[in-house]
Amino acid sequence: MEYQQLMQRVAVLGAAGKMGSGIAALLSQELVRLKLQYRLEHLRLTLIDTNEAAFPGLLAYLADQARRAAEKQIVTLRGFYSDRADLVDNGEIIEQYIADLLSLVRVDTDLRVVAPATMVFEAIVENLEVKLKVFKQLAESCAKETYFFTNTSSIPIGLISQRTDLVGRVIGYHFYNPPIVQKLLELIVPETTRKELVGLAVELAAHLRKTVVRSADVAGFIGNGHFTRDGLYGLNLAERLVADRGLTLPEAVVAVNRVTQDFLLRPMGIFQLLDYVGIEVYQSILAIIAEHGEQPHLRSPLCDRMLAAGIRGGQHQDGSQKDGFLGYEKGRPARVYDLESGTYRTIDEALLGKVDGLLGPLPSSALTWKALSRDGHAGERLAAYFGKLEALDTLGASLARDYLKNSKVIAETLVQLGVTPTVDDVSAVLKLGFFHLYGVADFA
């Protein structure tokens, strides 16, 4: 079938969730483009979620994203609406665009309405049994031509397709959070996937202006394959600093966060990233990789203890950060959790002084990820920076160098496991999806 035919009836499952709502917004904009540019009729975007209460917010989000998209492409929209003499100023065109987009959308809690879909995007909870149940129901109710795109972060696609009788018709379409902003799309293609589906997935990604990096169908894929192991290294390092250097756990967490953010010039430290993803989500991804990748050593007792204490991280509905290893003020770490007392401790001068005293100074305090990410000559500055890091004889520099080396070892492990043929793909995923400024092998 042609792209335009396949885009006739699209469904998103888990559409009210973090990822599902972003995927729904992207698809709504692509469908309304097809409608306006090619005058296609009968296009339909069906949004399914069990959380009915979230539908008004979801529709408001789609309208808001549509408005932003419309404001950026007003000239194109004027062309689409050139036969509408009644639409004169920009505001009228934008309102019409939003109305046209929303007219394609239906929300529902009942999975049965997905039966006529030509393409289904699944973004429900990361739980194999729940996903299998939903896919089995759709395998029975949908046509044999329907294609399925799953946003799973870690579950092998082949496993889902085999267990649901959908072999050849499921593809991994792994958006990054938030889907509307993030450029990276990891594409996971089991060997049995129909060629037509692969072509369609690539064509759609181009229309959504995403950059595709292909990953083999190995649990965790490239992005989470690296992130989970990188996180585990940070978690274990914090525990090592407690055992070997006499730090309290809160001090060690702040120290490792500082090494991974400020010494390594990453956008956030590893503990902030763990909180961003959510400690529970992280543990479940790790468990899936451990089980399906046959790597039982991938476990974090420290995360188990945090979860047992009821500390989960993750984000609120409005996208703001929940407290996890770190406590947040206006999105910035301001406190650190103390498992012993069960309370958060302020990250004050005394705590920072102790951590900095142990780690030593940064190679260059003037360089930050933020400044470098806007710098046209970042490459040269990074090389000079890591040259200085190499020469520094401090604990902070030595931990940072070891962290870099471990990141490269992780990338090599992913190559050995057959997740990707080259470490360059790992670098591409880290740069695009995690906003690293350099590749895994550049300075390790």
Contact partners, residue 106, CB within 8 Å, separation at least 6: 44, 45, 46, 47, 113
Nearer to ligand NAD, 41 or 129 (CB): 129
Residue 19 lies near ligand NAD (rule: CB under 6 A): yes
329 beta partners: 332
The C-alpha atoms of residue 10 and residue 139 are separated, in whole angstroms, by 15
433 binds ligand NAD (CB under 6 A): no
**If binding is defined by CB under 6 A, does position 249 make contact with ligand NAD?**
no
Q: If you write DSSP's letter for every residue of 7-68 in order, what string do you get?
A: TSEEEEETTTSHHHHHHHHHHHHHHHHHHHHH---S-EEEEE-S-GGGHHHHHHHHHHHHHH
Distance CA 147, CA 168 (A): 9
Residue with the two structure tokens 């002084």: 353
CB 283 to ligand NAD: min, Å: 12
User: Which 318-337 residues touch ligand NAD, going by CB under 6 A?
Assistant: none
Tokens 């998103």, residue? Answer: 12
Region binding ligand NAD by CB under 6 A among candidate stretches 74-82, 171-179, 244-252, 358-366: 171-179
Establish if 77 lies at the interface with ligand NAD (CB under 6 A): no
Per rule CB under 6 A, is residue 123 in the interface with ligand NAD? yes
Find the shortest distance in angstroms from Cβ 423 to ligand NAD: 22
Tokens of 236: 């274990």
Query: Is residue 48 involved in binding ligand NAD (CB under 6 A)?
Result: yes
Amino acid in the structure at residue 438: Y
The residue among 81 and 276 lying less far from ligand NAD, judged by its C-beta, is: 276
Of 324 and 396, nearer to ligand NAD (C-beta) is 324
Q: Which residues of 406-440 are buried (b: 16+ CB within 10 A; e: fewer)?
A: bbbebbeebbebebbeebebbbbbbbbbbebbbbb
50 near ligand NAD, rule: CB under 6 A = yes
Minimum distance from residue 189 beta carbon to ligand NAD (Å): 17
CB of 177 to ligand NAD, least distance (A): 3
Angle between helices 423-434 and 395-416 (to 10 degrees): 120
Closer of 130 and 384 to ligand NAD (Cβ): 130
Q: Does 186 bind ligand NAD (CB under 6 A)?
A: no
Q: Which of residues 136-155 bind ligand NAD (CB under 6 A)?
A: 151-153
Q: In which residue are the tokens 């809160």 written? A: 250
Q: Interface with ligand NAD includes 20 (CB under 6 A)?
A: yes
Cβ 60 to ligand NAD, closest distance in Å? 15
- The verdict on 317 binding ligand NAD (CB under 6 A) reads no
In terms of Cα–Cα distance, which of 228, 312, 299 is closest to 270? 228
The answer to the question of residue 18 lying near ligand NAD (CB under 6 A) is: yes
Tell whether residue 117 is a contact of ligand NAD (CB under 6 A): no
Q: Smallest distance from the beta carbon of 273 to ligand NAD, in angstroms?
A: 11
Please select the residue that binds ligand NAD; options are 74, 125, 143, 383, rule is CB under 6 A: 125
Closer residue to ligand NAD, CB minimum distance, 20 or 156:
20
Q: How far apart are CA 321 and CA 9, in angstroms?
A: 35
Q: Is 378 helix (H, G, I), strand (E, B) or coil?
A: helix
Q: Which is nearer to ligand NAD, 217 or 262 (CB)?
A: 217
8 A C-beta contact, residue 296 and residue 220: no
Q: Please give the residue ranges that form the binding site for ligand NAD (CB under 6 A).
A: 13-14, 16-20, 48-51, 123-126, 130, 134, 151-153, 174-177, 277
